[in-house]
Structure 1
Amino acid sequence: MPRKLKWTDVQDIAIELEEAHPDADVINLRFTDLWKWVQALPDFEDDPKKSNEKILEAIQAAWLEERD
């Protein structure tokens, strides 16, 4: 059984987001959309309230890195 992702699993979240949204404009993505997309990932299971701007920025940066 795959482990469930938490907000702190930034790199793993970035990989799954790239697979789920390969054509997304990551640089101009609104954090509200990013927040929703992370929670929609099949392996994600964490409290939505544990998210914050710093975590979303880290996910966005990791996603950009993953894309390169």
Structure 2
Amino acid sequence: MSLKWADVYDIAIELYEAHPDVDPRYVNFVDLRSWILALDSFGDDPERCGEKVLEAIQMAWIEESED
């Protein structure tokens, strides 16, 4: 399965697993976008991403890390 930008929660889980020692509250959007694009399971167009999508992914990652 190839993740798309709309797969906010699945991307958040992948980021949580890939970067377990990172506090997502302090990740800037440039790094966040790069880390998402580097995920093996990610396969969407890099140009289809905007600030709102990154914010939603970051919020989901924060939620995931608090569980």
Residue deviations 1:23-46, cap 9 Å, x none?
A: 112111110000000000010001
**Structure ranking higher in helix proportion:** 2
| SS of structure 2 residue aligned to 1:27 | helix
What is the letter of the counterpart of residue 23 of structure 1?
Answer: D
Q: What is the aligned length?
A: 66
| SS of structure 1 residue aligned to 2:16 | helix
TM-score, length basis structure 1: 0.94
C-alpha RMSD over aligned residues? 0.5
1:59 counterpart = 2:57: yes
Stretches of structure 1 lacking an aligned partner (at least 5 in a row): none
Match of residue 24 from structure 2: 26
Stretches of structure 2 lacking an aligned partner (at least 5 in a row): none
Q: How is 1:43-54 mapped onto 2 (pairs within 5 angstroms)?
A: 43-54=41-52
Deviation >3 Å, runs of 4+: none
| SS of structure 2 residue aligned to 1:33 | helix
Give distance in 2, aligned partners of 1:41 and 1:52: 18
TM-score, length basis structure 2: 0.96
